[in-house]
Amino acid sequence: MEITNVTEYQAIAKQKLPKMIYDYYASGAEDEWTLQENREAFARILFRPRILIDVSKIDMTTTILGFKLSMPIMISPTAMQKMAHPDGEYATARAASAAGTIMTLSSWATSSVEEVASTGPGIRFFQLYVYKDRKVVEQLVRRAEKAGFKAIALTVDTPRLGRREADIKNRFVLPPNLTLKNFEGLDLGKMDQANDSGLASYVAGQIDRTLSWKDVKWLQSITTMPILVKGVITAEDSRLAVENGAAGIIVSNHGARQLDYVPATISALEEVVKGAGGQIPVFLDGGVRRGTDVFKALALGAAGVFIGRPVVFSLAVAGEAGVSNVLKMLRDEFELTMALSGCNSLADITRNHVVTEADKFGVMPSRL
């Protein structure tokens, strides 16, 4: 069967992957309300396309933290990619580089920062969990910097792991042939079988619950890499991110895997953008499955989007070629959406191009 959109990879991945692994990638926290809402909220945003504009040349290029990208679609950190495909993070890194975009490597990757760097040139960010042992964190950050990674995406929404009931039922644990490669040799690379989720037990034992804004300053003291704060969904925290010297914000609810009943990221985006006051770029992570979603995020103020699950599902189905195809499909759909909306470049995409629920129920914005 020919795959014609990103979502179709998920059903095929479900057939192909062992249940424990598929459920780990696919599930959300508790009732999975936010998981569903991350997608459904996009469907409630409608377009206001402009017509009779010359769209014979479309430019999707952008600059993120000084790096030139082919498009505003990047890869978010997803853990343990070798569970999906033997090539794991190597394949994702190569696909991102070939597409001219950014890959973010998870702290909990099944390939190390050095291994991913060895795949060749590419703009890569490193997602960081802060461990109780700060020497481990310091070492990891230094290794990422030495391996040529360009920024840190600091995950700030996980002082404890969300309650993912599928993982509890499955007694999720990293398959025995794999390790968390960045922690190999530190006795932190193994995840033991537990009487609920092995990952939840691992997090409880290792991740620092005292993490606070002062630690953003501490991170700045040990690295020259810019720090993106990943997991912001309110204006208050957006302002604090600016005050504490973050280089950017990633609006994320951790793929709806942490606190259930938080808004979809696309619903929280405008609030966070307003809180940042144009001082630092704001990115959206969560629920992006179509080029139309990318356009909606940019119209609401995002500087770019990150995709997670589409990467692991396409990786499971077809390895590097699958990830490349996801990036190509999203790029092509986004280009088409721009053309049909009357936009030649990202700068042409404005708030006037979309109508949200708030617009429909509130007073129509003064922009009209």
What would the two tokens of residue 218 be? 């501490």
Interatomic CA distance for residues 330 and 348, integer angstroms: 19
Annotated ligand binding at 24? The verdict is: yes
Annotated ligand binding at 289? The verdict is: yes
Annotated ligand binding at 79? The verdict is: yes
Annotated ligand binding at 309? The verdict is: yes
Annotated ligand binding at 296? The verdict is: no
Annotated ligand binding at 27? The verdict is: no
List 82, 254, 296, 331, catalytic entry: 254
Annotated active-site residue 254? The verdict is yes
What is the CA angle 274-275-279, rounded to 5?
85
Annotated ligand binding at 308? The verdict is: yes
Annotated ligand binding at 55? The verdict is: no
State the Cα torsion 241-63-304-213 to the nearest 10°: -10
Interatomic CA distance for residues 217 and 246, integer angstroms: 9
Annotated ligand binding at 257? The verdict is: yes
Annotated ligand binding at 252? The verdict is: yes
Directed axis angle between helix 265-276 and helix 291-299, to 10°?
30
Directed axis angle between helix 19-26 and helix 8-16, to 10°?
150
Whether 359 contacts 348, CB under 8 Å: no
State the Cα torsion 132-136-139-144 to the nearest 10°: -80
Q: For 319, what's the count of Cα atoms within 13 Å in the CB-facing half-sphere? A: 5
b/e map 190-224, b = 16+ CB within 10 Å = ebeebeebbbbbbbeebbeeebebebbeebbeebe
Measured CA distances, 156 to 17, 115, 116, 212, 310 (Å): 30, 26, 24, 8, 23
Whether 101 contacts 78, CB under 8 Å: no
CB-CB neighbours of 258 under 10 Å: 23
Measured CA distances, 36 to 16, 40, 205, 287 (Å): 23, 6, 30, 9
What residues are labeled active site?
254
Annotated binding residues for glyoxylate, as ranges?
24, 129, 164, 254, 257
Annotated binding residues for FMN, as ranges?
77-79, 106, 127, 155, 230, 252, 285-289, 308-309
Annotated binding residues, as ranges?
24, 77-79, 106, 127, 129, 155, 164, 230, 252, 254, 257, 285-289, 308-309
